[in-house]
Structure 1
Amino acid sequence: MNETNAGLLFDARDVVGESLIWDDRCDRLVWIDIIGRRIHRLDPVTLAHESWETPDLVTSIGLRADGGAVVGLRNEIALWDFGGPFRTIATIEPDRPDIRLNEGVVAPDGSLWVGTMANNIGADDAPIAITQDAGQLFRVDPDGGVTRLSEDHFGITNTMVWTQDGRFVTADTMKNAIYSYAWEGGSSRLADRRLLFGGFQRGLPDGSCMDAEGYIWNCRVVGGSCLARIAPDGRLDRIVELPCSWPTSCAFGGADLDTLFVTSARFTMTAEHLDAHPHEGGLFAFRPGERGQSSNRFG
């Protein structure tokens, strides 16, 4: 596949597919469905598929150095061996039932960075309007220690990538903005926030990954129907059209890390729209001509 014919790889029908990663030890894609409360694992060659139910909303997943996974649930961070029990190691702001976890990615130092947001999912899984910037960024150590990374507040935290020049990039979906922060490896504080990419008129920023050249691939959710490739200086380099309207997260994978995989969502969509576009919530793939980077591992 090339960038002009991104196609459906697996008809997951996720409500909110998210947190896609490539496990290079077993050549599998791993991702979650937040509202579907399940974790997926897929062989993209044979399409052999496994899935596991989670006890609550599942918000992110990362790989562990010892071979298991680290999982973000509604407010908890848990260690999980594929198919085993969830072992909580940290709870993020347990005194705030009005917020939940959202994005979570393993950092280069082996910690897990997570973002929060005002809860937007009702008891019946229907959407709730977000009326406050309640989200913040946190770092979770392998021993379960939690540190707040910044005093900045976000509407919806999304995107977590670490650049080759020592900066951290994250997005606020509600503000249609992608920011860059100074970060020193091993430090638990972010500083020098700058707007890297904002105001793009195709959807809103969701998850991102970085290619080997240091360019960021950003999923444009809420009708964006595309990926934006963003240069290290914040310039829009390329737009890749996708056959889904809410792409949510992306990851390079395959034996040569030369295939870009994309999850998507069908949250809030009408029955009429889904009848006309039945592959919303699917997993898509294409070869963009660049290669990716290996995922970091927790611990």
Structure 2
Amino acid sequence: MSVRVLNSEMQELGEGPHWDPVNGRLIIVDIDGRAVKFINPVNGDITEKHQFDDKVGAAIPYAADPSLLVVAVGNRLVKYDSIKRETLETIVDVSDYEKGVRTRINDAKCDPYGRIVFGTMVYELSGGTFPENIGKLFSYSGSNGLKVLLEDVSLSNGLAWTRDNKTFFYIDTAPARTLTAYDYSEDGNISFRATGPLDKYLLEIVVAVGAPSDHLLPHGVRSLANGRVLVDFKLDKWDGMGNLDGMTIDVQDNLWVALFGGSRVLHIDSRDGKLLSQVRIPSLNTTSVCFGGADLSTLFVTSAGRHNVPEGLQEAQGGNTFAVTDLGTKGRLAVGFAG
């Protein structure tokens, strides 16, 4: 395994890496820097920078034309022309869903069918506290409009789907501190991920009386009425490892999760939540990951520089973008936005 700095420009809050195979480039966002950037994967140069008027949570190319991007700007999804450098229209605005607390879109990916799935969090963290249950997880497509997938989200983060498109993985960073698996349907709905007919029956009891069904699930996996908790960072065994942040999935359906405050990326078995390996990154606040490169075997890792770091305590490599190779696996192509 090899870890190198791909680009040494400090992103205030680097996030949302997305591999664009058509143009052979890495797309990242700087949330606090309010920018989308294109990076050459060979020499690490930033080839384009696109500035916006609010925090940028994600940028995903359109499937039909990767020069067009769907960009999360504040609480809006906008259609952006990267050639004209022009915002063409607001696709959807979720400000009306705020619960008396200002929020923003924090992370987004397209599901296997080209819908964009995205969640919200508090707009500005204050004193390191995370207001609970103020966000939501949404899905949007041009044909079906906006749909709420999950209520009462606190800090929406990583998203991933299995190769068969039937399981959706989702991270609520804090205070929930969980990586949860859900059944995922072709029409974009999520539900409890049962492990067998008996568990499906037991779920009816769980919903009715709140009884736990943990004894029916794989060791270390905890169930909830609306999902299967694969990794719970509130448990003692994860102490001192930071917080679950962005996530991707490889061709073996195993998960790669960046740890904010943990200086590492975890390689996790998606079936039982076991830790398979770790990749140490020379930046405390690793934020997100994606596979890319010509054969999809390079893991790109973003990090944060100034975000929530006191003045004068910034790391030399905080906010850098990294490339990890020789991992013995590769990823799958990210899905573009169908519109």
Fold in common (TM above 0.5): yes
Counterparts in 2 of 1:258 and 1:145: CA distance versus 1, 3 Å: same
Counterparts in 2 of 1:268 and 1:244: CA distance versus 1, 3 Å: same
Matches within 5 A, 1:119-158: 119-120=123-124, 129-142=129-142, 145-151=145-151, 153-158=152-157
Q: Note if 1:246 corresponds to 2:243.
A: no
- Show CA shifts across 1:199-224 (max 9, x none): 22311100001111111000000x20
Q: Note if 1:229 corresponds to 2:267.
A: yes
In the alignment, what sits opposite 2:309? 269
Distance (Å, rounded) in 2 between the aligned partners of 1:268 and 1:220: 15
Q: Note if 1:59 corresponds to 2:93.
A: no
- Give the superposition deviation at 1:100: 1.4
- Show CA shifts across 1:217-252 (max 9, x none): 00000x200000011211111111110101111111
Runs of 5+ in structure 1 lacking a partner?
A: none
Secondary structure of 1:229 counterpart = strand
Distance (Å, rounded) in 1 between the aligned partners of 2:191 and 2:138: 10
Mean CA deviation greater in 189-198 or 253-262: 189-198
Secondary structure of 1:240 counterpart = strand
Distance (Å, rounded) in 1 between the aligned partners of 2:129 and 2:52: 25
Distance (Å, rounded) in 2 between the aligned partners of 1:93 and 1:271: 32
Distance (Å, rounded) in 2 between the aligned partners of 1:139 and 1:20: 20
Matches within 5 A, 1:47-196: 47-49=44-46, 50-67=48-65, 68-83=68-83, 84-86=85-87, 87-94=89-96, 96=98, 98-120=102-124, 129-142=129-142, 145-151=145-151, 153-165=152-164, 166-174=166-174, 175-192=176-193, 193-196=227-230
Report the residue type matching 1:91 in the other structure.
D
- Show CA shifts across 1:54-107 (max 9, x none): 121111111211222111111111111214222211111435362211111111
Counterparts in 2 of 1:28 and 1:249: CA distance versus 1, 3 Å: same
Report the residue type matching 2:264 in the other structure.
C
Distance (Å, rounded) in 1 between the aligned partners of 2:131 and 2:112: 33
Q: Contact between 1:118 and 1:133, CA under 8 Å: does it hold in 2?
A: no
Matches within 5 A, 1:212-227: 212-221=251-260, 223-227=261-265
- Show CA shifts across 1:158-217 (max 9, x none): 111012351110011112210011111123344440101122231110000111111100
Q: 2:17 aligns with which of 16, 20, 34?
A: 20
In the alignment, what sits opposite 2:217? none
- Show CA shifts across 1:1-39 (max 9, x none): x2xx41211012111111100000011000100110011
Mean CA deviation greater in 29-38 or 175-184: 175-184
Q: Contact between 2:163 and 2:251, CA under 8 Å: does it hold in 1?
A: no
TM-score in terms of structure 2 length:
0.81
Distance (Å, rounded) in 2 between the aligned partners of 1:119 and 1:46: 34
Distance (Å, rounded) in 1 between the aligned partners of 2:128 and 2:4: 32
Report the residue type matching 2:278 in the other structure.
I
Q: Contact between 1:150 and 1:190, CA under 8 Å: does it hold in 2?
A: no
Q: Which runs of 4+ in 1 moved over 3 A?
A: 126-129, 187-192
In the alignment, what sits opposite 1:258? 297
Distance (Å, rounded) in 1 between the aligned partners of 2:263 and 2:45: 27
Report the residue type matching 1:58 in the other structure.
V
Q: Contact between 1:180 and 1:196, CA under 8 Å: does it hold in 2?
A: yes
- Show CA shifts across 1:246-268 (max 9, x none): 11111111111111110000211
TM-score in terms of structure 1 length:
0.91
Q: Percent identity?
A: 28
Distance (Å, rounded) in 2 between the aligned partners of 1:207 and 1:187: 21
Mean CA deviation greater in 142-151 or 157-166: 142-151
Report the residue type matching 1:182 in the other structure.
D
Runs of 5+ in structure 2 lacking a partner?
A: 194-226
Q: Contact between 1:32 and 1:61, CA under 8 Å: does it hold in 2?
A: yes
